[in-house]
Amino acid sequence: MTYLRPIVIFLCLIGAWQALVWLTGVEHFILPGPGRVAVALVERWPSLLRHAGITIVEILLGLAIGVVLGCASAIVISALRPARRWLLPVLVVSQAIPVFALAPILVLWLGYGLASKVAMATLIIYFPVTAAFFDGLRRTDPGWLDLARTMGGSRPAVLLHLQIPAALPALTSGLRVATAVAPIGAIVGEWVGSSGGLGYLMLHANARLQVDVMFAALFVLALFSVTLYFTVDWALRRAIPWQADDAKDHRAG
Binding footprint of other proteins on the chain (CB under 8 A): 141, 143-144, 146-154, 157-158, 161-162, 165-166, 168, 240, 242
DSSP state of 29: T
Q: Are 137 and 164 in contact (CB under 8 A)?
A: yes
> Nearest distance from residue 150's CB to other proteins, in Å?
4
What is the rounded CA–CA span in Å between residue 53 and residue 148?
Answer: 48
By beta-carbon proximity to other proteins, the closer residue of 20 and 147 is 147
By beta-carbon proximity to other proteins, the closer residue of 162 and 232 is 162
By beta-carbon proximity to other proteins, the closer residue of 94 and 173 is 173
123-126-131-136 Cα dihedral, nearest 10 degrees:
170
> Nearest distance from residue 142's CB to other proteins, in Å?
10
Residues 6+ apart with CB under 8 A from 96: none
Phi first, then psi: give them for residue 196, nearest 5 degrees: -170, 165
By beta-carbon proximity to other proteins, the closer residue of 38 and 145 is 145
Q: Are 48 and 217 in contact (CB under 8 A)?
A: yes
Buried b / exposed e over 228-253, threshold 16 CB at 10 Å, is beeebeeebeeeeeeeeeeeeeeeee
> Nearest distance from residue 134's CB to other proteins, in Å?
20
> Nearest distance from residue 141's CB to other proteins, in Å?
7
Closest CA to 108 of 202, 203, 192: 192
